[in-house]
């Protein structure tokens, strides 16, 4: 059986030629390697829309069982799903407006307002 070629590694287990480029943070007795990647450009619109849809799905799926839920004193499950959907719609609208405001502002302009 063929063995893969061995590469020289430093104490962290990272190949020696790559270890010079790594950024690390030491917290307590642990050392964390920081990946050199760009942050995701996520505005939250899709995430909140999916969450709202799941709350609505839960409401619709529990609706036929409203009588049983009431008998078991669990009717609040139904209204929790409806409240989750309603709050999700509000959150979706907020995220959508924020995304549009950020897209329409001038490039390089820094705002002190945290909602922009």
Q: Which of 28-32, 56-60, 111-115 has the lowest mean pLDDT?
A: 111-115
**pLDDT attached to residue 25:** 85
Express each pLDDT in 50-109 by its tens digit: 999 999 999 999 999 999 999 999 999 999 999 999 999 999 999 999 999 988 987 776
Q: How far apart are CA 24 and CA 40, in angstroms?
A: 21
Helix/strand/coil percentages in the chain, nearest 5: 50, 10, 40
Q: What is the average pLDDT across 34-52?
A: 87
pLDDT confidence of residue 111: 66
Q: Is the dihedral of CA 115, 41, 54, 92 positive or negative?
A: positive
Distance CA 92, CA 101 (A): 14
Tokens read off for 41: 């450009």
Domain ranges for the chain, please list them.
45-104
């Amino acid at each position: 059986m063929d063995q893969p070629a061995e590469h020289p590694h430093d104490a962290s287990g990272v190949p020696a030629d790559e270890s010079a480029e790594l950024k690390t943070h030491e917290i307590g007795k642990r050392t964390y390697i920081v990946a050199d990647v760009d942050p995701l450009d996520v505005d939250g619109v899709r995430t909140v829309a999916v969450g709202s849809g799941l709350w609505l799905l839960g409401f619709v799926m529990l609706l036929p069982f409203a009588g049983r839920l009431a008998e078991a004193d669990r009717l609040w499950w139904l209204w929790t799903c409806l409240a989750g959907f309603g709050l999700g719609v509000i959150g979706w609208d907020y995220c959508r407006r924020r995304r549009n405001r950020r897209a329409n502002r001038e490039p390089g302009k820094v705002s002190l307002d945290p909602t922009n």
